[in-house]
Chain A
Amino acid sequence: MNENDVMMLKTPFHSRVEAACEINLWGNWMGYTTPDAYFDVELEYFAVRSTTGVFDLSPMNKYRISGPDAAHFLDRMMTRNMHKLAIDRVAYVVWCNDAGQLMDDGTVFRLAENEYRLCSYAKANDWLYWCSLGFDVTITDETAEVAALAVQGPTSCSTLTAMGLEGLEELKPFDIRNYRFDGEILSVSRTGFTGDLGYELWITPSKAEDLWDRLFEAGKQFLIKPFGSHALDIARIETGFVQAGVDFVMAQDLIRPGRSRSPLEMGLGWLVDFEKTHFNGRRALLKERETGSRYRFVILDVDGNKPADHSFILKGDKQVGNVTSAAWCPTAKSNVAFAQIEMPYGEFGEELTAEIYYERELHWTRVLAPCRVLDGPVFNPGRRRQTPAVAF
């Protein structure tokens, strides 16, 4: 059967994922059928925070960028200085259009001298093609050629070490190390989207099922569980990670003017290196830096226990922004919301109000919940950074 004859693609781990997905709650991620939850969103979330959770991230868009100009090309495209990225290191990146508006965020893996992998939230073939004109690089979409698992949580290092990945505890955040796995290369990076100690495993699809089996066998004594996209969403909000398409509109999708955001407006100014040579959006961002941004991205601590989903944010009676992501955070035990706030509001410590609507038995109630602008995420444990990785 031709790949195009099916509605939904299956990841290289599908046979294992399907067997583990007890409640048959499936979603669509980039055209792949992936579990929203395996057995219970709450318990899956806690696997990530208390033991080890495993997430199949194979559908993530992956592009191999190689050639003599690879570093120059990436440096031109990304707002960070990509010449500083050493071999076997990973960088979190964002990239902009010429107007300095966010196209997407992602990660760049430097695999060898002139070899990079870009993981992006949205498909980037078109943008990569136009940006690469004039550079001696080859760009290949390797999404289907690389199977990937995120292994996240306090016992993740112990699990992977028990699977035979010796010396893994020495890996620093954003390091990459390659291991042998049945004659193939198993690439391990200390990266993830949960804000906890965690790793991502990258392997050829033919070894995917064996990897899953060995991982779960080794992780049994460390209480390993799979987790789906719903649990991931709670974890990422708790740890302050924005998501493209949710917390900002990707500039290439924009229809209504003014609704995209710059990295400075998303609290991602630390990713913008004005000292380096030209990059896409530099002029616009320089101007924004001088004249000021339109919006400010804030993390809010909201009173009460009603998640401030889609709430308007008020200063007194004036509407000054709205919430893009919200969740009750089960480990931090706080009610967190990400919001875009009109300047000059939203400075650290400022008291605002979330206008929350919630429903109980078809009855809608409106509450005006006081909230405060935080200076960072509510969950940010030391073990996330500690090297050597601590044994839970």
Chain B
Amino acid sequence: MDKYDVIVIGAGHNGLTNGAYLAKSGLRVAVLERNPYIGGATVSRELHKGWFYSNCSYVCSLLRPEITRDLELPRHGLQVVPYGGGVTMMRNGDHFGNYHDHDRQYREMARFSKRDANAYERYAADVMKQTRLIRPFLLKRPPDPTSLKLRDLKDLAEFAGAFLDMGEEGLADTIRFWTKSVGDYLDEYFETDVIKAHMAGSGIIGTALGVYSPGTAYVLLHHYMGDVDGNVGEWGFARGGMGAVADALAKSFQSFGGEIICDADVDQITIKNGKTTGVALKNGNEIGAPIVVSNLDPKRTFLDVMDPADLPEEVIKKAEKFKIRGSSGKLNIALDGLPTFNNLPNDSPLRVGEMHFSDSLTRLERAYDDWKDGTWSKDPYVDMLIPTQVDPTMAPPGKHMMSVFVQYAPPKIEGEEWTDADKDGFEKSVLDQISAYSPDFKDLILHCETRTPREIEAEVGLTEGNIFQGELTFDQLLFNRPFPGYAQYRGPIKGMYMCGSGTHPGGGVMAAPGANAAREILADLKRPDIIPGGYADD
């Protein structure tokens, strides 16, 4: 008899969530991790003594509160501290501050345009309508519209009901939202370029599309549908960095008897007589289990750790055509002190949130043009945060850690692999961008970790360095994620499942795919459903 009932490949947040629920149900579960450390893209590492980086994902909002509570993540050490607001610094020396406080936000917007300040109410209400539609479906499997199974029909009816509840206008809005570009969408509400540019960032993060590419409005929604303590759209820091999420999930998993095995690089999912039998590791060891769950992205799952001979050809084709384009990079910087920014006092609350430098949609679109040309953006969009302004644990007192998410960075440079010289060029373009607004920034740098799509793919295993395990475009969402016929977490082989961000509801540190996949596995094993349902919004 096998030592384990289930093997989960990949100790990212979804793999650990999946493992935790299966172990909680009483199954013997091992989560295998290729790296010597867990977390995948939800990781904190000390690469410069005394400084901890959130190396990949860097802020928290999507993590389902139902899972946090149910798996007792606070007891296992997770604390999510919200931050307020954000700022876009402008080339003319001014800035737009997106204050957390509503009245201050209104006054700041009115400084640019009273109409925009007022239109924000309409915008916020419209976005909230869309989040209300989608949030209840995050902790559910996507219904299969071609299925006649009772459960699918029921789920479909619920989805259609919520959809129809929005009325004719709401329906039209929804379709618009899911298909439009974020630029076009924002143009409907605002006239001020910097305000639009500030909002538009959420529509392109992690996506190989520009602000005027159709489909980016949904990406904005994807970044808006999370919450911190019930405040929808709000983001926070995990105290100690994003690794605290993985660490808490790991402790929860282990509290149910789960085992984590690091340095276990899976070569192949083994299959016999059309059934999953376990995994073979690159070191030659084999671990048996009747159920194998892949937390890897769909390309890695079907084109790397599975033998094409075991798979239907249709699945191979779909995996090959799956859109998972690298679009971003990341700089993590250890700072000797808090950098000053032009015309923005060091104690401004705006600096505790996201800082940007792209003050127009045109600049954002030009940045995307560079990606299409096969190179990194010369005027990059950055989503920059200094979590050590509210988290005392990530750097020594008085010192700081800066997380700089960078868009765009293509998976290949003009068709060729990234070289070290390319990486240096990418790094320089980002450091120059920041120092154009901060005179003392460069002097404060003690250490910098630069990650292009090459490093993200090599270290984390995300194909092309795509942070969402696949583009969040409408053709790859819901019952099409990762592809039609395989959107309910079951793979093409009996006993094989998927639980990563490549499945519904997609990327971000949400833990919903892992939990939803666990529900399906438990259903197949005829075990009780122990996955929490979503909190109702009203």
Residues of A near any B CB (own CB < 8 A): 23, 39-40, 42-43, 46-47, 49-51, 154-155, 158, 221-223, 304-305, 328, 330-334, 358, 360, 363, 365, 392
Min CB distance A24 to B, Å, is 10
Tell me whether B397 is interfacial, beta carbon within 8 Å. yes
Of A39, A47, A158, A331, which is within 8 A of B349 by CB?
A39
B538 to A331, Cβ gap below 8 A? Answer: no
- CB-defined contacts of B74 to chain A, threshold 8 Å: 331-334
- Max chain A Cβ within 10 angstroms of own Cβ: one of B73, B101, B397: B397
Tell me whether B100 is interfacial, beta carbon within 8 Å. yes
The distance in angstroms between the C-alpha atoms of A42 and B349, with both chains bound, is: 13
A155 to B82, Cβ gap below 8 A? Answer: no
Q: Assign chain B's interface to a size class.
A: 20 to 34
Min CB distance A265 to B, Å, is 29
Min CB distance A195 to B, Å, is 14
Of B84, B101, B397, which is within 8 A of A222 by CB?
B397
A50 to B392, Cβ gap below 8 A? Answer: yes
Closest 6 CB pairs of A and B: A221-B398, A221-B397, A360-B538, A46-B81, A330-B229, A305-B535
B 65-89 contacts with A by CB, 8 A? 65, 68-69, 73-74, 79, 81-84
Min CB distance A146 to B, Å, is 30
Tell me whether B255 is interfacial, beta carbon within 8 Å. no
Q: Known contacts A40-B100, A223-B392, A365-B538: does B397 contact A331 (CB below 8 Å)?
A: no
The distance in angstroms between the C-alpha atoms of A304 and B537, with both chains bound, is: 10
A158 to B68, Cβ gap below 8 A? Answer: no
B69 to A334, Cβ gap below 8 A? Answer: yes
Of A42, A158, A358, A365, which is within 8 A of B397 by CB?
A158
A392 to B393, Cβ gap below 8 A? Answer: yes
B 90-114 contacts with A by CB, 8 A? 100-101
The distance in angstroms between the C-alpha atoms of A139 and B59, with both chains bound, is: 54
B389 to A223, Cβ gap below 8 A? Answer: yes
The distance in angstroms between the C-alpha atoms of A36 and B538, with both chains bound, is: 28
- CB-defined contacts of A332 to chain B, threshold 8 Å: 74
Q: Is the interface of B mostly helix, strand, loop or mixed?
A: loop
A328 to B101, Cβ gap below 8 A? Answer: no
- CB-defined contacts of A304 to chain B, threshold 8 Å: 535-536
- CB-defined contacts of B83 to chain A, threshold 8 Å: 43
Min CB distance A83 to B, Å, is 39
Please encode chain B, from 524 to 538, with 1 for each CB lying within 8 Å of some chain A CB and 0 for all others.
000000000001101
Min CB distance B134 to A, Å, is 17
Min CB distance A198 to B, Å, is 15
Tell me whether B239 is interfacial, beta carbon within 8 Å. yes
- Max chain B Cβ within 10 angstroms of own Cβ: one of A42, A332, A333: A333
The distance in angstroms between the C-alpha atoms of A34 and B349, with both chains bound, is: 22
- CB-defined contacts of B65 to chain A, threshold 8 Å: 305, 333
B99: nearest chain-A partner, CB-CB: A40
Min CB distance A159 to B, Å, is 10
Please encode chain B, from 432 to 475, with 1 for each CB lying within 8 Å of some chain A CB and 0 for all others.
00000000000000000000000000000000000000000000
The distance in angstroms between the C-alpha atoms of A222 and B82, with both chains bound, is: 17
Q: Known contacts A39-B349, A331-B74: does B390 contact A51 (CB below 8 Å)?
A: yes
